[in-house]
Amino acid sequence: MIYKVLTLVHLLSVIVWIGGMVFAYFFLRPAVAALEPPQRVRLMQEVLGRFFGAVLVAAGVILASGLWMIGRVAKAAVQSGGGFQMPFDWTVMVVLGLLMMGIFGHIRFALYKRLGRAVAASDWPAGAQALARIRIGVALNLALGTVITAVMVLY
């Protein structure tokens, strides 16, 4: 039962992260493009701050639940007298998931700070540049998340 609950928590956290990226990239960003730079950059800073807080929690839950589930399966395999070799789809999920977390860390702790400094200084061109770099990171993470999802469903 605990494995199923952890799988659910893991999946819900993935949905928050990937769903938030889809919303921000395909719906929010085009909608705010009509705003003047001061309003657009401030709004995106506020929205991204809230979203990045949620992603920090989601990424932690994904990492903890994923490691726990892998460990539980490995322990069960060893206790039954067998060995454990991580399946290909799990390996893809772990490697690309860790890469996504690294990219997110850069977005949150470097690029988002640049955005905050630009907003504080009312430097709208620098804010727009920070948002452009954040957008690239989000697009990359969205692509990686899509690959992980496809591998997990199709493999």
- Mean pLDDT to the nearest integer, 13-39: 97
* Packing angle, helices 124-154 and 112-120, rounded to 10: 160
| Cα 40 to Cα 57: distance, rounded to the nearest angstrom | 26
pLDDT in the model for residue 151: 97
pLDDT in the model for residue 19: 98
| Cα 149 to Cα 17: distance, rounded to the nearest angstrom | 12
pLDDT (tens digit per residue) in 100-143: 999 999 999 999 999 999 999 999 999 999 999 999 999 999 99
- CA count, 13 A, side-chain hemisphere, 37: 14
pLDDT in the model for residue 72: 96
* Packing angle, helices 2-23 and 124-154, rounded to 10: 140
Which two three-digit tokens encode residue 129?
């540049």
| Cα 65 to Cα 80: distance, rounded to the nearest angstrom | 23
pLDDT in the model for residue 17: 98
- The rounded radius of gyration (Å) of the Cα atoms in the chain is 18
pLDDT in the model for residue 132: 98
**Sign of torsion, CA 65 102 128 117?**
positive
* CA 148 from centroid of its chain's CA atoms: 12
115, amino acid identity = L
| Cα 25 to Cα 103: distance, rounded to the nearest angstrom | 16
Q: What does the mean pLDDT of the chain come to?
A: 97
State the pLDDT confidence band at 83, using cuts at 50, 70 and 90.
very high
| Cα 118 to Cα 4: distance, rounded to the nearest angstrom | 44
pLDDT (tens digit per residue) in 43-79: 999 999 999 999 999 999 999 999 999 999 999 999 9
* CA 37 from centroid of its chain's CA atoms: 26
pLDDT in the model for residue 153: 96
The model carries a pTM of 0.95
